[in-house]
Amino acid sequence: MSKPANEPVIDRPPVAAALASSVDAAEIIPQTRIGQFKIRTDVLRAYTMVFALIAIWVFFHYSTDQIFLEPRNFSNLMRQTAVTGVLAVGMLMVIVTGQIDLSVGSVVGLAGGIAAIAQGWLGWGLVPSLAAGIATGIAIGGAQGALTAYVNIPAFIVTLGGLLAWRGVILGLSRGETIPLRLLSFKSIGQGYVGPIVGWVIAAIAVAAITLMTVSRSRARRRHGLGATALGTTLARVLVPVVVVVGFIYMMNSYELAPGIHAGIPNPVIIFLAIALAGAFLTQNTTFGRYLYAIGGNPDAARLSGISIRKHILAVFCIMGALAGVASVIYTARVGSASPDAGQLLELDAIAACVIGGTSLMGGRGTVFGAILGALIMASLDNGMSLKNVEPYMQNIIKGAILVAAVGLDMAGRKRG
Amino acid sequence: MHPDAQAPFLEMHNITKTFPGVRALDGVTFDLHKSEIHALVGENGAGKSTLMKVLGGVYPHPHYGGEIMIDGHEQRFSSVRDAEKAGIAVIYQELSLVKEMSVGENIFLGRAPRKFGIVRWEELYRCAQKSLNDLHLPIDPRTPIRNLGIGQQQLVEIAKALSHEAQILVLDEPTAALTDAEVETLFGILTKLRARGVGMIYISHKLDEVFRISDRITVLRDGRTVGSNLTSDLNEAQVIARMVGREVGDIFPTVDHEQGDVVFEVHNISVEDPVVAGKKLVDSVSFSARRGEVLGIAGLMGAGRSDLLMAIFGAHAGRVSGEIKIEGQRVRITSPGEAIRHGIGFVTEDRKRFGLVLDQTILNNMTLAGLRRISGRFITSIDAEAAAGERAMKDLRVKANSVFTIAGTLSGGNQQKVVLAKWLLTNPRVLFLDEPTRGIDVGAKQEIYAQINKLAKSGLAIVLVSSELPEVLGLSDRVLVLHEGHVTGEFTRESATPENVMACATGHMKQAA
C-alpha cells in the first residue's frame, strides 16, 4: 500500500478552509434551459400560467369568430370566474395549511338554499337573509375545523362526510324544490353592475397603489442588499399591471347593455376582487398568513415555535366556510333561484384552480395570485367550450385532462430545476 | 485482515462527480479488500455520501467520471439494482424498511418466493428465519418492523443486505441512533461478517468507534482523498487534523462564566410515557440555572433528557407534573407559546424535523418564533424583519447570499445557526440547547461553542443537552447526569471527569455535587 498520503496535509490557511467547507454550493439559483436560453425556474413557473391563460384566450377568441374576447362575453367570463375565484381564495389557505375541504360545493348549495328560504318562505329582508347564508357557511366551517383540529379526524374524511351530509340537508330542507329569489336587491348582487364611473375610480386608485407599492418594494430590496432594480424593470413592473387594470376596466365598461348604456364591472367581480385582495394581504402581510405557511411547511417546527396549530386550522376552516357562504350568495343571485343541486363539483373547481396555480397539496406552498389565475383558466375553459358548443361530457374530459397535464408539466419543470 | 496481501476486491479510481456549480468528488481513489472494515471519515460535505451513491448505483454510470472495478472487472452500474447484483449493499442513515410489514417481508421485499405469482409465506418466513439465525438475531421474522427499536431495525437491514449475498456492505452512520448495548451487538456482527469474508465500508463521525472497529481509515476532504492508512498507524488527533485541514487546538475555550442569581428552577418534574401507561420517562427531576451559567445535562440515549426539556417547554405528549419557577415566580406552562412568553428558548434536536421550515427563507425561519415581537402583532413589516434577520446573520456568521436564501439549501452548520438565531430573536432569559452540534462539521461546532460562551457571558442561563461527553464537559459550569429518568449525579466543572459522569450515566454510581 502506498505511503505518501500518510503525511498530514495541512496546506490551507484555517480561515479559507472554514469558509470553503461552510459556504453552500446548492445556493446557486436553479435555472431551466429552454433551447439556448436559460431562465430562473421559479420565474418560469410563475409566468407559465400567465402565458397558458393568454394562449387559451387567443385560441378561443379566434376559434369562436372573435366572440370570446368581446366585451359582452368577457364580462360574462369574469362574472363566472367570481364564484370559483372566491372559493379558490379560501381553498388556497386551507391547502397551504396542509388541509383540504371537499365540502365547499355542498356548502354553497346549503348556504344558498338557506338564504333563499329565509327571503322566500320566511319573508326575511335582504340583510338577514344574506347573513343567514353566510352564517351557515361559517358554522359549518367551524364544525368541520373543530373536528379536524381538536378531534384529529383527517380533514379529507370530515369534509368528505360534509360533502354528502350538507347536500342531504338542503335536499331535505327544500323538499327537493327550487326556491326562486323574491327580492330584486338579492338578484342584483349576482346580476347587477357598479357603473362605469365607479370603475374608473377603482382604476385610478389601483394605478396609484401599484406605483407606490412597486417603488417602495424596489427601495426595500435595495436596502436589504438585493441589488438595485434596473429602471426598465421597475417601469415594466409598474406598466404591465397598470395596462392590465386599465384594459380590464375599459373592457368591462365598453360592454353595452343597451345602445349607449355602458355596464361597468359586474357586482360579483367587485366582491371577488375585494376578497382576492384581502386574501393576498392576509397570506402575505400578516403574522396569521405566515403561520399558515409554517404549519403547512413543517407542523412540528411550527408547534415548537409557539404557534397553535389547532387554532389556526379552526380559523382557516371558518374563513373557508365564510367564503363558501359569500360564494353561495353570488351563485344564487346570479342564477336567480336556489336549486338543491346548486354548486355541485365546485369543490373540485376550487381545488383544481389552486393546483393549476402552483399550490402544493402537501401544504406550505402556493399563492392567492396563482389560485386566481387557476380559477380564470378553469372558467375560461368552461366559457370557451360552451361558446364552441362542445358537448358537456367532452368538456369534463378536457378539463380533467388539462388539470392533470398542468400538474405534470409543473412536476417535470421541478425535476429539471 | 491483511489488506496488503492481495489485490483489492473493490477499487474506485479517480472518481469525479459534479453537480451544477460544484465539484462534489474530485478524483477520489478508494479501495476495499475482502475481510476488511474500511472506515471513511470526513466533515459534512466532504463527499462521503456522494462517493457511496456512486458505488451504490444511485448516480448511474455516465454521470460520474473514473472507474469502478470489482474483482478486477470494470463495473458500470446503471441502477441501484445493478449494484445490488454485483454484491453491493448500502445501508443508509435513514432506514429504508417498510414499517407496516413484517421483518420477513422486508428482508424479501420485491423478491418474495412465489409460485404462480402467489407468495409462499411458509418458505419466505423459513428463509427469513435462516438469515436472522445466521446473524444470531433473536427476532421473530413475523414481527412487524414498527414493533422493533431502531437498533434492531438496523440489524434487520443488515440481514436483508446479506440475504442479497452482499460482498460489500456500506454502513452510513450505523450507530447514530443506537444505545451502547446495541452498538456492541452491531460490532459483534460486523466482526463475524469480516471473518466470513465480507468487505465493509464504515462511515461515521464517531472516531472512537472508528478506531475500535476499523482496519483502515480513509479521510475525505472537499471531495478529495487526503490519506488512507492502517488504523494502527494513526491516532485521533491525526485523523481530525486531516478532516479539518488544520490542528484542532483548543476546541473548547474554557471560560469561567460569571454567574448571577438563579433565574430558572424546576422541582419534581415527572413525565409519563404517552404510549405505555404507568411508565415514567422522567421521574422527579429538580434543577436550577443561574444567569450566565451553562448547565449541562448528560446521559445516554433514552435517559429522558429530551423528554425533560420538551415537558418543561409545554411540548410533551405525555402527562407532566412538577413546578417551574422563572425569576422566583411560579409559572404554569402548557404550550410552547406560553414557554416563549415566559422567556424560554428551545433549540430542539433534529433541526430538519423540529427546527426549520426547509423550503422557506432564512428570514422566515429566523423570525418564526418571535414574529409578533419582531414584525408586528398582526401586520408584518418586512423592513423590521430583515433588519433583525440581517443583524442575527452577521452576529452568528451564517454563510449565505442573503436572508432570502432558502433554509433547506444551507449546510448543517448554517442551518443550526439559523435555528439558534430564531430563538435568540425571541429574547429569551433561559435557553435550552438539545444536541446543538449533532451532525455538523468541526468548524461549525467551534463557532457554536463560541456562541454558547458568548451568550452565557451576556447573562443568559443555558441548559445544554448533548450526547457528546467532551462537549458537555467542555462547556458546562455544572453537569447534571440522568439515568432512566432519574438524576444520578451532579458535578461541578472541577469534579466532572469523563469517568465519573459515565459511571452515573450508566447507573453504576450515584453522586451529588
DSSP labels for A245-297? HHHHHHHHHH-EEETTEE--SBHHHHHHHHHHHHHHHHHHHBHHHHHHHHHHH
Q: What's the rounded mean pLDDT across residues B84-97?
A: 83
Between residues A412 and B117, the one the model is more confident about: B117
pLDDT at A171: 96
Q: Which residue from A238, A55, A5 is spatially nearest to B227, judged by alpha carbons?
A: A5
Residue B313 has phi, psi (to 5 degrees) of -80, -5
Inter-chain Cβ pairs, chain A and chain B, closer than 8 A: 161
Which of A6, A21, A367 would best serve as a mutation to test chain B binding (most B beta carbons within 10 A)?
A21
Which chain A positions have a beta carbon within 8 Å of B246's beta carbon?
A: 10, 12, 14, 17
* A249: in domain: yes
Residue of A nearest to B234 (CA): A6
Same domain, A252 and A127: no
Cα B326 to chain centroid, rounded: 32
Quick one: angle between helices A126-150 and A309-335, nearest 10?
A: 150
Which chain A positions have a beta carbon within 8 Å of B46's beta carbon?
A: 21
Same domain, A209 and A155: no
Residue of B nearest to A29 (CA): B405
Q: What's the rounded mean pLDDT across residues A43-60?
A: 85
**Cross-chain residue pair B233–A304, CB shorter than 8 Å:** no
Residue B182 banded pLDDT, cuts 50, 70, 90: confident
**Cross-chain residue pair B335–A10, CB shorter than 8 Å:** no
- The DSSP bridge partners found for residue B483 are B486
**Cross-chain residue pair A22–B444, CB shorter than 8 Å:** yes
pLDDT of A318 > 70? The answer is: yes
For chain A, positions 366-405, list CB contacts with chain B under 8 A.
none
* A386: in domain: yes
**Cross-chain residue pair A294–B360, CB shorter than 8 Å:** yes
Quick one: angle between helices A126-150 and A104-120, nearest 10?
A: 150
pLDDT of A24 > 60? The answer is: no
A305 in contact with chain B, both atoms CB, cutoff 8 A:
yes
Nearest CB to A25 within list B19, B233, B359: B19
pLDDT at A38: 55
CB of A82 within 8 A of CB of A142?
A: no
Cβ burial, residue A203 (10 Å; 0-12/13-18/19+): buried
CB of B252 within 8 A of CB of B60?
A: no
Q: Pseudo-torsion of CA A102, A108, A111, A115, nearest 10°?
A: 180
Which strands sit side by side in the sheet containing B199-203, from one edge to the other?
A: B88-91, B168-172, B199-203, B37-41, B216-221, B224-230
Least confident of A30-39, A88-97, B327-336, B451-460: A30-39
Which chain A positions have a beta carbon within 8 Å of B241's beta carbon?
A: 8, 10
Least confident of A34-38, A287-291, A319-323, B169-173: A34-38
How far apart CA A318 and CA B371 sit, in angstroms, is 23
* A14: in domain: no
pLDDT of B72 > 60? The answer is: yes
Same domain, A202 and A254: yes
pLDDT of A39 > 60? The answer is: no
Closest-CA distance of chain B to residue A266, Å: 31
Residue of A nearest to B413 (CA): A22
Closest-CA distance of chain B to residue A18, Å: 6
Same domain, A306 and A179: yes
Domain ranges in chain B?
A: 10-244, 260-343+429-442+461-513
pLDDT at B159: 87
Closest-CA distance of chain B to residue A228, Å: 14
Between residues B2 and A341, the one the model is more confident about: A341
pLDDT of A1 > 50? The answer is: no
A294 in contact with chain B, both atoms CB, cutoff 8 A:
yes
Same domain, A171 and A115: yes
Sign of CA dihedral B435, B441, B446, B447: negative
Residue B22 banded pLDDT, cuts 50, 70, 90: low
Q: What's the rounded mean pLDDT across residues B497-504?
A: 79
Residue B510 has phi, psi (to 5 degrees) of -125, 135
Between residues B427 and A229, the one the model is more confident about: B427
How far apart CA A40 and CA B59 sit, in angstroms, is 25
Between residues B69 and B508, the one the model is more confident about: B69
pLDDT of B510 > 80? The answer is: no
Q: What is the mean pLDDT of chain A?
A: 87
Residue A348 banded pLDDT, cuts 50, 70, 90: very high
pLDDT of B139 > 70? The answer is: yes
Same domain, A110 and A153: yes
pLDDT of B395-430, one tens digit each? 999 988 889 889 988 888 899 999 999 999 999 999
Closest-CA distance of chain A to residue B290, Å: 24
**Cross-chain residue pair A297–B410, CB shorter than 8 Å:** no
pLDDT of B183-220, one tens digit each? 888 899 899 999 999 999 999 877 788 999 999 999 99
CB of A328 within 8 A of CB of A140?
A: no
- The DSSP bridge partners found for residue B172 are B203
Quick one: angle between helices A71-96 and A231-254, nearest 10?
A: 120
**Cross-chain residue pair B414–A294, CB shorter than 8 Å:** no
Distances (CA, A) of B175 to B106, B153, B171: 21, 12, 9
**Cross-chain residue pair A220–B383, CB shorter than 8 Å:** yes
* A32: in domain: no
Q: What is the mean pLDDT of chain B?
A: 87
pLDDT at B227: 86
Residue A2 banded pLDDT, cuts 50, 70, 90: very low
Widest CA span in chain A: 98
Percent of chain A with pLDDT over 90: 71
pLDDT of B324 > 90? The answer is: yes
Q: Cell for B404?
A: 432570502
Same domain, A169 and A90: yes
Count of CB atoms within 10 A of residue B146's CB? 11
Same domain, A163 and A208: no
**Cross-chain residue pair B378–A286, CB shorter than 8 Å:** yes
Which chain A positions have a beta carbon within 8 Å of B3's beta carbon?
A: 1
The matching CATH number, chosen from 3.40.50.720, 3.90.580.10, 3.40.50.300, 3.90.1310.10, for B260-343+429-442+461-513 is: 3.40.50.300
* Domain, as residue range, for A141: 75-192+286-393
Which chain A positions have a beta carbon within 8 Å of B312's beta carbon?
A: none
Residue of A nearest to B341 (CA): A306
How far apart CA A226 and CA A37 sit, in angstroms, is 24
pLDDT at A249: 92
A310 in contact with chain B, both atoms CB, cutoff 8 A:
no
Q: Which residues contact B355 (CB under 8 A, 6 or more apart)?
A: A301, A304, B347, B348, B415, B416, B419, B422
A4 in contact with chain B, both atoms CB, cutoff 8 A:
no
SS3 at position B46? coil
**Cross-chain residue pair A223–B386, CB shorter than 8 Å:** yes
Least confident of A17-26, A73-82, B41-50: A17-26
pLDDT of B358 > 70? The answer is: yes
Cβ burial, residue A53 (10 Å; 0-12/13-18/19+): middle
* A197: in domain: yes
pLDDT of A10 > 90? The answer is: no
Residue of B nearest to A221 (CA): B383
Which chain A positions have a beta carbon within 8 Å of B383's beta carbon?
A: 220, 223
Q: What's the rounded mean pLDDT across residues B65-90?
A: 90
CB of B345 within 8 A of CB of B392?
A: no
Task: Report if pTM > 0.80.
Answer: no
Which chain A positions have a beta carbon within 8 Å of B427's beta carbon?
A: none
**Cross-chain residue pair A225–B410, CB shorter than 8 Å:** no
Count of CB atoms within 10 A of residue A222's CB? 12
pLDDT of B214-257, one tens digit each? 999 999 987 889 889 999 998 877 887 787 665 444 566 666 77
- The DSSP bridge partners found for residue B11 are B31, B69
Q: What is the ipTM of this complex?
A: 0.84
Same domain, A217 and A174: no
How far apart CA A74 and CA A86 sit, in angstroms, is 18
How far apart CA A110 and CA A332 sit, in angstroms, is 11
pLDDT of B1 > 60? The answer is: no
Q: What's the rounded mean pLDDT across residues B166-179?
A: 83
Same domain, A96 and A182: yes
Same domain, A101 and A164: yes
Closest-CA distance of chain A to residue B406, Å: 8
Count of CB atoms within 10 A of residue B116's CB? 5
Residue A17 banded pLDDT, cuts 50, 70, 90: very low
Q: What's the rounded mean pLDDT across residues B335-350?
A: 94
**Cross-chain residue pair B368–A302, CB shorter than 8 Å:** yes
**Cross-chain residue pair A17–B354, CB shorter than 8 Å:** no
When mean pLDDT is compared over A88-92, B53-57, B273-277, B380-384, the highest value belongs to: A88-92
Which of A24, A226, A284, A303 would best serve as a mutation to test chain B binding (most B beta carbons within 10 A)?
A24
**Cross-chain residue pair B20–A5, CB shorter than 8 Å:** no
Question: Roughly how many angstroms between the first and final C-alpha of chain A, as a whole number?
Answer: 43
Residue of A nearest to B240 (CA): A8
Residue of B nearest to A28 (CA): B21
Number of domains present in the structure of chain A: 2
Same domain, A175 and A201: no
Q: Which class in CATH covers the domain with range B10-244?
A: alpha beta
How far apart CA B298 and CA B114 sit, in angstroms, is 51
Closest-CA distance of chain B to residue A198, Å: 29
A306 in contact with chain B, both atoms CB, cutoff 8 A:
yes
Nearest CB to A301 within list B357, B376, B382: B357
Could you say which DSSP state residue A53 is in? H
A293 in contact with chain B, both atoms CB, cutoff 8 A:
yes
**Cross-chain residue pair B225–A305, CB shorter than 8 Å:** no
A342 in contact with chain B, both atoms CB, cutoff 8 A:
no
Q: Cell for B147?
A: 414493533
**Cross-chain residue pair A17–B226, CB shorter than 8 Å:** no
pLDDT at A352: 94
